[in-house]
Amino acid sequence: MKKCVVIYNPNSGKLTNRNDVKKIYKLLENYDYETEIIYTEYRGHAKEITKKLKNVDLLLCAGGDGTLNEVISGNIERKKPILLGHLPLGSVNDVAHMYGMSNNTVNNIVMLLNGVEKNIDVCLINNNPFVYVACMGAFVDISYATPRKLKEKYGRLAYVIYGIKQLKQKMQFHHIKYTVDGKEYENKFSFIFITNSNRVGGMNIKDIYSDVKLDDNKFEVLMCDIKSKWDIIKAVHYLKRRELNEIPGFTYFKTDYIKFEFDEIPPSWCIDGDELTHKSKVFEIKINKDNNMLLPSKNIDLLFENKNEDSNNE
């Protein structure tokens, strides 16, 4: 019998009762897995657990996007990475929706165990992994600064409520030198978005980025010089009608490496919904290829360039 570990973050969502937990054990047993569920107790715990695991064939992350980030971060630091799967329990679950998963944990496990093993691109910002987004600028703190009590009461709507309160923030500009594809540039920007996803912040962005792939050794970079809240509204209007390179104040690249040099230490980045604090003026973003994941079959053709890299696990 093989070994499966489920790392469960009880703050991201609830496995609602003992019967649900029993179903998970029974279901995985039917697929020839002996299962252990480990509860996280603090931020960063999922990463610590992942790094220390021994003799594990499958590691399932039961939590939100931030918990998945921790598990992947720990997996990258292992000498021998473990095959991963994601069970979404958070408020937004951008990554899980991109993968084609539902809100039913049992159904998600079935989809994974009957799915496809794929190698996925993971981005690194100064060697800190992020699965789908790293961003900087006004309002990007909403995902991690929204009070937990508000999220528990209102779910995804909590981010909107908190975001409205944050509209008093002023736009801050940063003079940045940046190197991409061997060329050097410089300009002032108020927002930076680095993504490897067709969903961010609960929104489908496939109409903005026409061909996002999770195995093409590339990520998307969007830099903006938005000056006011009114400019944000105009930008959203333009995005529905124009190509990115036609929108005033937008700079876009698709690349495997970019380096930013700020004149001053910038504010915290938001990576996969959590805060990345730092004391640096220089940031390098590149790709890591060490993680294999079990994914539902339904969105494989949409998300992967190499559709033939296919190892049906069970």
pLDDT digits (tens, 9 = 90+) for 45-80: 999 999 999 999 999 999 988 899 999 999 999 999
With vertex at residue 274, the alpha carbon angle to CA 89 and CA 61, rounded to the nearest 5 degrees, is 35
Task: Give Cα separations from 53 to 5, 85, 161, 271, 278 (angstroms).
Answer: 9, 15, 39, 25, 28
Mean pLDDT of the chain: 84
Same-domain pairing of 275 and 171: yes
Nearest to 131 by CA among 261, 264, 290: 290
Is 272 within 8 Å of 94 (Cβ atoms)?
A: no
Same domain, 272 and 156: yes
Give the tens place of pLDDT for each residue, 94-145: 888 889 898 888 899 999 999 999 999 999 999 999 998 999 987 676 666 5
Is pLDDT of 257 > 60? Answer: yes
Cβ proximity of 287 and 123 under 8 Å: yes
Tell me the average pLDDT across 263-269: 93
Counting the structural domains of the chain, the total is 2
pLDDT of 154 over the 90 cut: no
Do both 166 and 42 map to the same domain? no
Give pLDDT, residue 7. Answer: 95
pLDDT for the residue 312: 44
Relative to beta strand 269-271, strand 219-224 is unpaired
CATH of the domain at 278: 2.60.200.40
Look at residue 153 in the predicted model and tell me its pLDDT. 66
Four-point Cα dihedral 250, 284, 65, 39, nearest 10:
-170
pTM score, whole prediction: 0.83
User: CATH number for the domain including 90?
Assistant: 3.40.50.10330
Extract the tokens encoding 123: 């981005």
Same domain, 149 and 215: yes
Name every residue whose Cβ is closer than 8 Å to that of residue 133 and which is 6 or more positions away in sequence: 94, 193, 194, 195, 196, 197, 200, 270, 271, 272, 273
Q: Are residues 278 and 296 in the same domain?
A: no
Do 170 and 101 lie in a common domain?
no
Residue 40 has pLDDT above 90, yes or no: yes
Note down the domain range covering 147: 128-288
Statement to judge: residues 62 and 177 lie in one domain: no
Indicate whether 98 and 199 sit together in one domain.
no
Average pLDDT over residues 251-280: 93
The predicted model gives 214-230 an average pLDDT of 86
